[in-house]
């Protein structure tokens, strides 16, 4: 919310009392002078500078000035309408309306603009003009309704009185308030004037006095001739001189119009009530003549106010727009100076940057190649550990991963008598033999689209049918198992001792996934895994044992030998079979092992 100027001043009760008292006196005196020579017979004055003084004080000192406005308006009403009950009620109502006309725009302005710089920004000036109009309409409505209610103004004159009241307040505020603000705040000071500018100022004032003097003497409307002089003042001297000259122009013009009405004519309205109720022909003639002149002067005054208010509202923005333009020019000069300084600095460093550019680009390219290579190596390493779909899911931070597969074939293979053999050869030879065997198995897994799970010592575990489901998973696993027997025959562990392997297969559902937070491994769980492991451990050297479930899926494409019922730990007796060969292979040879 915008801050008002009063927040910069000490808020003491004594100070507030003095400010309120001072405003009340100013409000009363200004209203008294106005009502003394500018009151129409219906009790509504066409000129009300007190509203301008009140709003200016509120903008300068804040809400604490409201008692002065209220009391000044109440005392004025009672002085001119007596102390009767209706006069008190009417005075209180009008005082409330006049107070609202001050506090309401003050509240709206506090909410929308920075009052301390009200005349510094064009937007703030336009908001000031726009926000005071509805507040003045509220005050005028309350005041005229009150006068109509107490019988001072007939209801038939409500519209005319409302327009007169509104224009008098608006005229007073637009003329008095900016003048008080400009002269009441040091930031609008013109500064020290040179002799030339003092002469220019004197010329301006002299020209306006001459023009308005001619208008006053000839009873001619010439205020519009003085407006260019006010515009000249706005360009050359700013808010203070411009508002002062506008105040001078408007005051002289109002006095000229009122002089046409003639102040002594008001004595007719002060005659005794008995003479006004039963007037003589002479009094009636005087009253009709006075009423005609009142209507003429009232219309002329309202016409002047309407035109002058619009003209001055536009003129009021001029010094603000000029100040904004000058500030923008200063800011632009500062920006240009700073830009030139920065340009020089950039030119100084540009050569160094150009020299470093090539080096940096070379380093970036080198680092990019290294990073790309490292990324490719990391990707290969990750894909050596995990299936590609699972690795992609881990990159997306899906964890843990556990997927169910209804039908896969699991293989376990184990080297026969590995413990005995390991005691006859060196560790290096042992690792070399295992690497030779398992590398051959890995090549077969890629050939038959089988997923290697892991090696456990001398055991090899693989599965077909995941992570991408396959209809012929059992067939692919059987083909790989037969090829594994061929690969083992080519490896000689020790002189005169050929490698042998036991293989077991089982088909069924499993759960596959990755768990834990370190050293990820893709693993299988389920009864199918346990049964496949039992098939391997109960198998014989260089033979492939399968369960009845696997047999049922392969019997049409492979040849089997029934082993019969065997006792399986945890499962009881199970029917198993020996996988011999593919039927396509059997058509060309009777050997159970073919390349």
Rounded distance, CA 137 to CA 187, Å? 32
Omega before residue 400 within 30° of 0, cis: yes
Pick from 70, 371, 56: nearest CA to 184: 56
User: Taking residues 173-193, what's their average pLDDT?
Assistant: 74
Least confident of 54-58, 105-109, 373-377, 574-578: 373-377
Cβ pair 403, 512 in contact under 8 A = yes
Pick from 421, 396, 231: nearest CA to 322: 231
Cα–Cα distance list, 478 to 462, 549, 550 (Å): 12, 13, 9
Q: For the chain, what is the mean pLDDT?
A: 76
Torsion-angle region of 417 (φ positive above 0: left; ψ -120 to 50: alpha; else: beta) = left
Q: Do 1-188 and 399-586 come out as alike in CATH topology?
A: no
CATH ID of 399-586, from 3.40.50.1820, 2.40.50.140, 3.30.710.10, 3.30.70.1230? 3.30.70.1230
Rounded distance, CA 242 to CA 230, Å? 6
Rounded distance, CA 171 to CA 305, Å? 6
Q: Which residue has the higher pLDDT, 427 or 510?
A: 510
Pick from 570, 558, 588: nearest CA to 409: 558
- β-partners of residue 574 are 566
**Given this model, what pLDDT does residue 3 score?**
45
Q: Is the overall model pTM greater than 0.85, yes or no?
A: no
Rounded distance, CA 462 to CA 328, Å? 78
**pLDDT, tens digit (0-9, with 9 covering 90-100), for 561-577:** 999 899 988 888 999 99
**pLDDT, tens digit (0-9, with 9 covering 90-100), for 22-49:** 877 887 787 777 776 555 544 556 677 8
Break the chain into its structural domains and give their ranges.
1-188, 190-328, 399-586
Q: Which are the contacts of 324, defined by CB distance < 8 A and separation ≥ 6?
A: 120, 121, 122
**For 134-223, where are the E strands, in sequence order?**
none
Q: What percent of the chain has pLDDT over 70?
A: 74
Q: 56-70, 82-96, 117-131, 266-280: which has the highest mean pLDDT?
A: 56-70
**pLDDT, tens digit (0-9, with 9 covering 90-100), for 459-501:** 999 999 888 888 899 999 999 999 999 888 887 776 667 778 9
**pLDDT, tens digit (0-9, with 9 covering 90-100), for 190-206:** 666 678 878 877 887 78
Pick from 442, 512, 510: nearest CA to 480: 442
User: Taking residues 451-459, what's their average pLDDT?
Assistant: 87
pLDDT band at 277 (very low <50, low <70, confident <90, very high): very low
User: Taking residues 132-148, what's their average pLDDT?
Assistant: 76
The angle formed by the CA atoms of residues 439, 491 and 542, to the nearest 5 degrees, is 95
Helix (H), strand (E) at residue 448: none
**Given this model, what pLDDT does residue 262 score?**
53
**Given this model, what pLDDT does residue 269 score?**
45
**Given this model, what pLDDT does residue 201 score?**
75
User: Taking residues 253-280, what's their average pLDDT?
Assistant: 54
Res. 330: pLDDT tops 50 = yes
State whether the Cα torsion 82-299-250-183 is positive or negative: positive
Fold entry, domain 1-188: Arp2/3 complex 21 kDa subunit ARPC3 (1.10.1760)
**Given this model, what pLDDT does residue 585 score?**
59
The residue behind tokens 């020299």 is: 355
Q: Which residue has the higher pLDDT, 556 or 58?
A: 556
């Amino acid at each position: 919310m915008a801050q008002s100027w009063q927040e910069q001043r000490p808020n003491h009760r004594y100070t507030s009392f003095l400010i309120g008292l001072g405003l009340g006196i100013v409000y009363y005196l200004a209203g008294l002078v106005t009502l003394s020579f500018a009151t129409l017979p219906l009790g509504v004055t066409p000129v009300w500078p007190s509203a301008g003084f009140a709003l200016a004080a509120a903008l300068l000192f804040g809400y604490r000035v409201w008692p002065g406005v209220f009391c000044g308006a109440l005392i004025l009403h009672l002085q001119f309408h007596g102390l009767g009950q209706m006069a008190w009620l009417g005075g209180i109502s009008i005082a409330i309306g006049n107070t609202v006309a001050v506090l309401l725009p003050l509240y709206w302005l506090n909410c929308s603009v920075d009052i301390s710089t009200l005349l510094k920004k064009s937007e703030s000036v336009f908001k000031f003009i726009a926000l005071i109009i509805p507040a003045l309409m509220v005050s005028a409505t309350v005041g005229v309704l009150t006068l109509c209610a107490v019988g001072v103004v007939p209801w038939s004159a409500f519209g005319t009185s409302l327009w007169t009241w509104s224009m008098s307040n608006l005229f007073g505020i637009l003329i008095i308030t900016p003048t008080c603000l400009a002269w009441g705040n040091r930031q609008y000071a013109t500064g020290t004037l040179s002799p030339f500018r003092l002469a220019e100022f004197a010329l301006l004032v002299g020209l306006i006095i001459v023009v308005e003097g001619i208008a006053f003497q000839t009873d001619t409307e010439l205020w519009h001739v003085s407006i260019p002089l006010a515009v000249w003042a706005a360009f050359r001297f700013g808010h203070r001189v411009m508002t002062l000259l506008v105040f001078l122009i408007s005051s002289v013009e109002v006095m000229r119009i009122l002089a046409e009405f003639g102040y002594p004519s008001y004595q007719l309205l002060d005659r005794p009530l008995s003479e006004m109720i039963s007037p003589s022909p002479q009094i009636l003639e005087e009253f009709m003549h006075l009423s005609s002149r009142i209507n003429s002067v009232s219309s002329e005054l309202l016409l002047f106010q309407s035109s002058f208010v619009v003209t001055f509202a536009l003129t009021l923005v001029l010094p603000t727009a000029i100040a904004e333009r000058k500030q923008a020019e200063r800011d632009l000069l500062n920006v240009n100076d700073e830009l030139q300084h920065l340009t020089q600095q950039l030119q100084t460093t540009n050569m160094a940057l150009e020299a470093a550019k090539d080096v940096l680009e070379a380093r970036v390219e080198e680092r990019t190649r290294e990073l790309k290579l490292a990324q490719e190596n990391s990707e290969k390493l990750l894909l050596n550990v995990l299936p590609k779909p699972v690795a992609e899911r881990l990159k997306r931070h899906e964890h843990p991963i556990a997927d169910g597969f209804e039908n896969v074939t699991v293989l376990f293979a184990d080297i026969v008598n590995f413990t005995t053999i390991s005691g006859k050869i060196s560790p290096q030879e042992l690792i070399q033999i295992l690497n030779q065997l398992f590398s051959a198995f890995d090549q077969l897994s890629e050939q038959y689209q089988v997923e290697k799970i892991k090696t456990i010592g001398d055991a090899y575990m693989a599965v077909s049918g995941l992570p991408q489901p396959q209809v012929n998973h059992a067939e692919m696993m059987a083909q790989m198992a037969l090829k594994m027997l061929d690969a083992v025959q080519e490896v000689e562990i020790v002189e005169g001792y050929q490698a042998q392997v036991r293989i077991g297969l089982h088909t069924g559902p499993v759960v596959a996934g990755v768990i834990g937070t370190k050293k990820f491994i893709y693993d299988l769980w389920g009864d199918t895994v346990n049964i496949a492991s039992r098939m391997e451990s109960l198998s014989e050297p260089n033979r492939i044992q399968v369960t009845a479930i696997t047999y049922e899926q392969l019997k049409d494409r492979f040849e089997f030998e029934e082993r019969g019922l065997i006792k399986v730990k945890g499962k009881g007796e199970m029917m198993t079979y020996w996988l011999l060969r593919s039927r396509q292979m059997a058509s060309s040879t009777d050997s159970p092992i073919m390349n």
